[in-house]
A and B are shown apart, each in its own frame.
Chain A
Amino acid sequence: MKSDSSLNQLRPLTSTPPEIGRREFILNVDSLVTRLNNGARIVDDISFSLKQGETFALLGESGCGKSMTALALMRLLPDGIRVASGDIKLGEEDILALPEYAMRKVRGGQMAMIFQEPGLSLNPVMTVGDQIAEVLTLHQQLRGKEVRPRCVELLEQVGISDALRRASEYPFQLSGGMKQRVMIAMAMAGQPKLLIADEPTTALDVTIQAQVLKLLRDTQQKTGMALLLITHDLGVVAQMAHQVGVMYAGQIIEQAPREQLFARPAHPYTQKLFAALPDAGRSGQPLAAIPGNVPPLGAPLAACRFAPRCDKAWALCHEQVPEWTQLENGQGVRCHLYTSQMGSEKLNLKTSLSPAPSNVSGEGAGEEGRDTFLQVENLQVHFLIRKGILQRTVGYVKAVDGVSMNIPEGRTLALVGESGCGKTTVGKALLQLITPTAGSVRFAGHELIGITARQLRKHRAGMQMIFQDPYASLNPKMRVAEILQEGMDALSIAKNSDERQRRIDELLEQVGLEKASKWRYPHEFSGGQRQRIAIARVLAVNPNLLICDEPTSALDVSVQAQILNLLKSLQQQLRLSYLFISHNLAVVEYLAHEVYVMYLGRIVERGTVAEVLHTPKHPYTQALLSAVPRIDGQGMKTIRLPGETPSPSRPPQGCHFHTRCAHVMAKCREVYPGETIISATHRVHCYLAAE
């Protein structure tokens, strides 16, 4: 299974295999409630069941209680949270009634679990083999010489090459994807009936995610275990699940077979979730963002939890908790729309899922004659590697190795690539936050590299950056007003304090925050609101170009849509240019005009969105695109990329991608391919395209 990366058809999960319907239930969860010690409900009345060989996906945004549900099943809830009531049955066994020593037999034996952060979930000072061996001696009663071969066998089964050697290595010697494979091997060592996977691929790159998801599917097919998959990603659900439970604020608000859910989502929240997903089809119009924020875990809620954010809510929704309503085809929902008279009337009023297309003007107009704002030529950022007694420089990490790009006014250029490809370094080097090693950055006609700090300050206002983590990008010890004022002060934007205050009010309004919020501190805001503040902060200095470094990757889907809409409308109002750094191709497709694909510090393909994302020429771009799980889940050919991105300190000779490329030729191994011009805008570095 490690072999080639031939194009193989993803077996679309058209429907629940008929044989599953006849099987026994493995897991039955009935009205599970977990509470904090102060009585707040974390998981509130959850019921679902799982059959052998079936995958049940718990879908929900952060803080909805899905991980707590999983930990409750394992009886591993953190201190301070306990199961208050409910019933968990694994086969015949009543999990909640088992004494602790018997529960230990269940954990890792009948029921295993893998976690989100494979890097943190393995013991760093124990060899991989030893960690797997623990499970074998505990649950399989293997002793002495039997253990090692079985370890190696397990590692081979999860697709780790050279398993014998790997078994005696430590986790830090493995890459992220391999660590998650090891976690899976460890889970499978006890031959569990049920595997709980808590966001197993969230921390991984898309190409690795595709590998791990396939591994999970294959393993399930081989062993017939049930899989409880916890995720926030609709795409992953589309690829993996048979049954889906949608969670919101501690409750399952809708449950249905996957096809049913994707075809006809019943709950307004689920409907909105689908509508909030960005893709090219909607790039002309704003996304259907869900207003407001996910309520915090354990917030006391008497009525429907979604009512404050729901555009279909009426009086009843704010007063009464909706009952669970069973619809046809195994679909169930917790919503008043389906329980009351009033609700069915509302349902009959056909509401379109996506909002009416707004009249976006200026699209495509003035394609020519746009001024090129930013001109980057052959940008290089090399970090030194020092070694030896005298700390001599022995080599370079070529984080960015000759990147050129042009960004015209009012356009969005997307820089796409997997983690470690150098895309963030490009952003910071443009702003001179990292000093580039070589190259030229011309901003509005002025060269930025090699000028003094004072000269640079004159150009600072024009180019600003929005960061990835809204929690780390605002100083927790400063008020919002102070945060917004900082840039104005440093670049002397507004003349007096009255003018400044007026500007702050204006900015807050512009990004959709209340004026009163300027007296508050960052910790009082949610992630989405913080990102709005961060946007207001950079707008304060009237920039022309914003470098957006994964601005939505830390946000929930519903909030991501809000921010994307905001960015888009700001671009139209202020004719901003964006350099949009992202790994999320759907977001890129929605927002960008041009796409640059980066691999190991170099641009491998560039062109307009349509060109790169619909007719990709570079095998890497093709693989990247196919690895993204689509919610329609069909028709897409998967190109599995073997292995992982090599280290930028030792890039492979010749084409950097040849180690993972399916179409590798002799010359790929020798010389880096030059640029091939496909069209006026479409360029690619690949010998295939040149032929």
Chain B
Amino acid sequence: MIYLLLATVLAAALWIRKRPHLVLPWQRVAKGSVGMVSLLLLSLFVLVGLLDTMHYRAALSEKSNGQTVYSAEVLSVFDALAKGIKSRSEKTYSAPLAAYLYAKESMETSEGKILRDYPRLRYGGAHLADPQRELLGDVLKRTGIGALEGLLIGVLLIAVSNMLFHFFVKFRTVWSSAGREISKDNWISTFTRAMKNKPFKALLITTLLIAMLLGITVNLAAVYHVLGTDKVGQDVLYLALKSIRTGLVIGTVTTLVMLPFALLLGIAAGYLRGWVDDVIQYLYTVLSSIPSVLLIAAAVLMMQVYIEMHPDWFETSAARADLRLLFLCLILGVTSWTGLCRLLRGETLKLRELEYIQAAQAFGVSSSRILTRHIVPNVMHIVLIAVVMDFSSLVLAEAVLSYVGVGVDPSTMSFGTLINSARLEMGREPMVWWTLAAAFGFMLVLVLAANLFADAVRDAFDPRLNRT
């Protein structure tokens, strides 16, 4: 299903390329540095999410009766990539980049005495002989190396993509045989020319920064718990990264559920009017008159009861959690189409009075054709703006709902469950802050990027905002 989605996005992109009036606003998006930088960040998150979505079951080494046996645990490509940090779990809490556990334990020293102290971590900083002296130096060293490596890779990446782009342009110009001058200059000048472009510069700097950050993280994560560990010793970085997928799934699937409702009903109400309009208006007034959290709560509650009563339906708890996630998206989608529907209805009401619609009616063009050829293309910008704007609020809503207890399954890793479990740790003395900080930090970056990108899209697509 995810692949289908990706393919649709790609196909849409190709389709749009051929239509200059559709390309235009996207070019406007591309001209803003903020939009591009946030898009880069977003795509990074999407990449993590995608990697995490490609599931497989690892083949177990021993074969029974010549048949490959698959392990019961479903893994994703991301799990494989992050195998290191996934498997290295400690006993319980440890602070970020620490070499010792966060809780005192009774230990037997070599002399046989019982001592209460912070024990060394099983994995974090295990390579150090004397962490108390060496830790800082080692961390700094690794940070430095990581940064350098990241920088190097970043530069390399940029150089390669620039070369590719250069040849692509050259290829095109040769084909079109129009711009012979462009084909004369080498790839360095392509680069310098691109550098004059402000969003490109911003993009470049961000890429390098991200590459450095990634380099540092990878280097440190190899031997430390960069963001510490949680109560059962799981690496928080791993948990946070896993949560991204849940956030993305909720954002996109909900939108996909909501879209057909809003589009179909909104346009039908606006164009057909009469009793259709009355029914649809009644429908969305009813739905929007119920406070959304309550409606979701009631629906989720019902679902929970239902699942509980049919426990035999699910093979694994993972399948149940997945279904619950899907169901949550469904419920969120069904409850959130009213806003967009109302917008589309209003816009369609306006559009149907326009003269080009009347011209089509004068030709006797059928209603369904008018809807698909004239109305849908002309409300798409509203749909797009609404979708990108909603995305971030859905990610935020997930956290709240999970906290309230009507969100995802507690076993599903999400920002909501992460926060929920970490909330109680704030009360500990000394305080365990890193889980919470990691969850909020990741969420902030994701939502901020989504918000900024939404702004850029809105600025580019809203006809009211760009008159010139």
Judged by CB atoms under 8 Å, the answer to whether A and B touch is yes
Q: Is A86 at the interface (CB under 8 A from chain B)? A: no
B363 contacts A472, C-beta separation under 8 Å:
no
CA distance A537 to B365 in the complex (A): 14
Contact mask for chain B residues 334-366; partner A; CB cutoff 8 A; 1 contact, 0 none:
000000000000000000001110111111111
Known: A521-B20, A523-B21. A474 touches B356 (CB 8 A): yes
Known: A473-B356, A478-B373. A460 touches B378 (CB 8 A): no
Residue of B20, B355, B356, B363 touching A468 (CB-CB under 8 A):
B355
Q: Is A450 at the interface (CB under 8 A from chain B)? A: no
Contacts of B373 in A (CB 8 A): 475, 478, 486
Chain A residue nearest to B24 (CB atoms) is: A523
Q: Is B112 at the interface (CB under 8 A from chain A)? A: no
B176 CB to nearest A CB, Å = 16
CA distance A431 to B362 in the complex (A): 7
B364 contacts A473, C-beta separation under 8 Å:
no
Q: Place the interface of chain B in its size category.
A: 10 to 19
Residue from B355, B363, B369, B374 having most chain A Cβ neighbours under 10 A: B363
Q: Is B377 at the interface (CB under 8 A from chain A)? A: yes
B363 contacts A490, C-beta separation under 8 Å:
yes
Q: Is A428 at the interface (CB under 8 A from chain B)? A: yes
Contact mask for chain A residues 460-488; partner B; CB cutoff 8 A; 1 contact, 0 none:
10001101110011111110000000110
Known: A475-B374, A521-B20, A523-B21. A460 touches B363 (CB 8 A): yes
Contacts of A521 in B (CB 8 A): 20-21
B364 contacts A490, C-beta separation under 8 Å:
yes
A537 contacts B364, C-beta separation under 8 Å:
no
Contact mask for chain A residues 480-524; partner B; CB cutoff 8 A; 1 contact, 0 none:
000000110111000000000000000000000000000001010
Residue of A473, A476, A486, A523 touching B363 (CB-CB under 8 A):
A486
B362 contacts A433, C-beta separation under 8 Å:
yes
Q: Is A213 at the interface (CB under 8 A from chain B)? A: no
Chain B residue nearest to A468 (CB atoms) is: B355
CA distance A457 to B374 in the complex (A): 19
Q: Is A164 at the interface (CB under 8 A from chain B)? A: no
CA distance A521 to B19 in the complex (A): 9
Q: Is A204 at the interface (CB under 8 A from chain B)? A: no
A460 contacts B21, C-beta separation under 8 Å:
no
Chain A residue nearest to B365 (CB atoms) is: A490
CA distance A72 to B232 in the complex (A): 71
Contacts of B354 in A (CB 8 A): 472-473
Residue of B21, B355, B361, B369 touching A469 (CB-CB under 8 A):
B355
B365 contacts A476, C-beta separation under 8 Å:
no
B359 contacts A465, C-beta separation under 8 Å:
yes
Chain A residue nearest to B361 (CB atoms) is: A433
B21 contacts A467, C-beta separation under 8 Å:
no
Q: Is A203 at the interface (CB under 8 A from chain B)? A: no
A460 contacts B364, C-beta separation under 8 Å:
yes
CA distance A569 to B356 in the complex (A): 25
Q: Is A196 at the interface (CB under 8 A from chain B)? A: no
CA distance A468 to B373 in the complex (A): 22
Residue from A464, A472, A474, A541 having most chain B Cβ neighbours under 10 A: A472
CA distance A469 to B353 in the complex (A): 12
Contacts of B365 in A (CB 8 A): 486-487, 489-490
CA distance A273 to B34 in the complex (A): 48
Q: Is A456 at the interface (CB under 8 A from chain B)? A: yes
Q: Place the interface of chain A in its size category.
A: 20 to 34
Contact mask for chain A residues 666-684; partner B; CB cutoff 8 A; 1 contact, 0 none:
0000000000000000000
CA distance A486 to B356 in the complex (A): 11
Contacts of A428 in B (CB 8 A): 358
Chain A residue nearest to B354 (CB atoms) is: A472
A472 contacts B361, C-beta separation under 8 Å:
no
Contacts of A472 in B (CB 8 A): 354-356
A517 CB to nearest B CB, Å = 14
CA distance A467 to B360 in the complex (A): 12
Contact mask for chain A residues 428-468; partner B; CB cutoff 8 A; 1 contact, 0 none:
10010100000000000000000001001100100011011
Residue of B20, B362, B369, B374 touching A460 (CB-CB under 8 A):
B362
CA distance A490 to B370 in the complex (A): 11
CA distance A464 to B359 in the complex (A): 8
B338 CB to nearest A CB, Å = 24
Chain A residue nearest to B360 (CB atoms) is: A486
Chain A residue nearest to B463 (CB atoms) is: A476
Contacts of A538 in B (CB 8 A): 359
Contacts of A523 in B (CB 8 A): 21
A456 contacts B363, C-beta separation under 8 Å:
no
CA distance A428 to B362 in the complex (A): 9
CA distance A472 to B358 in the complex (A): 10
Chain A residue nearest to B353 (CB atoms) is: A472
B74 CB to nearest A CB, Å = 44
Contacts of B360 in A (CB 8 A): 486, 490
Known: A457-B364, A476-B21. A537 touches B359 (CB 8 A): yes
Residue of A467, A468, A475, A491 touching B378 (CB-CB under 8 A):
A475
Residue of B20, B355, B358, B364 touching A456 (CB-CB under 8 A):
B364
Instruction: Please provide the chain A residues from 536 to 581 with a CB less than 8 Å away from any CB of chain B in the complex.
Output: 537-538, 541
A487 contacts B358, C-beta separation under 8 Å:
no
A534 CB to nearest B CB, Å = 8
Contact mask for chain A residues 393-432; partner B; CB cutoff 8 A; 1 contact, 0 none:
0000000000000000000000000000000000010010
B362 contacts A465, C-beta separation under 8 Å:
yes
CA distance A467 to B362 in the complex (A): 11
A65 CB to nearest B CB, Å = 15
B415 CB to nearest A CB, Å = 39
B301 CB to nearest A CB, Å = 39
CA distance A433 to B360 in the complex (A): 10
CA distance A538 to B374 in the complex (A): 17
B212 CB to nearest A CB, Å = 36
Instruction: Please provide the chain B residues from 371 to 397 with a CB less than 8 Å away from any CB of chain A in the complex.
Output: 373-374, 377-378
CA distance A489 to B360 in the complex (A): 11
Contacts of A464 in B (CB 8 A): 362-363
A475 contacts B356, C-beta separation under 8 Å:
yes
CA distance A486 to B372 in the complex (A): 13
Known: A521-B20, A523-B21. A473 touches B362 (CB 8 A): no
CA distance A518 to B208 in the complex (A): 46
Known: A473-B356, A477-B21. A491 touches B363 (CB 8 A): yes
B357 CB to nearest A CB, Å = 8
Contacts of B356 in A (CB 8 A): 472-475
Contacts of B359 in A (CB 8 A): 465, 467, 473, 534, 537-538
B361 CB to nearest A CB, Å = 6
CA distance A451 to B86 in the complex (A): 74
CA distance A457 to B354 in the complex (A): 21
CA distance A534 to B363 in the complex (A): 13
Contacts of B369 in A (CB 8 A): 490
Contacts of B378 in A (CB 8 A): 475-477
Contacts of A487 in B (CB 8 A): 363, 365
Residue from B20, B356, B360, B366 having most chain A Cβ neighbours under 10 A: B356
CA distance A457 to B359 in the complex (A): 14
Contacts of B377 in A (CB 8 A): 475, 477-478
Residue of B21, B358, B366, B374 touching A433 (CB-CB under 8 A):
B358
Contacts of A468 in B (CB 8 A): 355
Q: List 25 A-B contacts (CB under 8 A).
A: A433-B362, A456-B364, A460-B362, A460-B363, A464-B362, A465-B362, A467-B358, A467-B359, A469-B355, A472-B356, A474-B356, A475-B356, A475-B373, A475-B377, A477-B377, A478-B373, A478-B377, A486-B363, A487-B363, A490-B365, A490-B366, A490-B369, A491-B364, A521-B21, A538-B359
- Starting from the known contacts A453-B364, A460-B362, 20 additional A-B residue pairs (CB-CB under 8 Å) come to A428-B358, A465-B359, A467-B358, A467-B359, A472-B355, A475-B373, A475-B377, A476-B21, A477-B374, A478-B373, A486-B363, A487-B363, A487-B365, A490-B366, A491-B363, A521-B21, A523-B21, A537-B359, A538-B359, A541-B363
Q: Which residues of A contact B (CB under 8 A)?
A: 428, 431, 433, 453, 456-457, 460, 464-465, 467-469, 472-478, 486-487, 489-491, 521, 523, 534, 537-538, 541
Q: Closest 4 CB pairs between A and B?
A: A473-B355, A477-B377, A467-B355, A457-B364
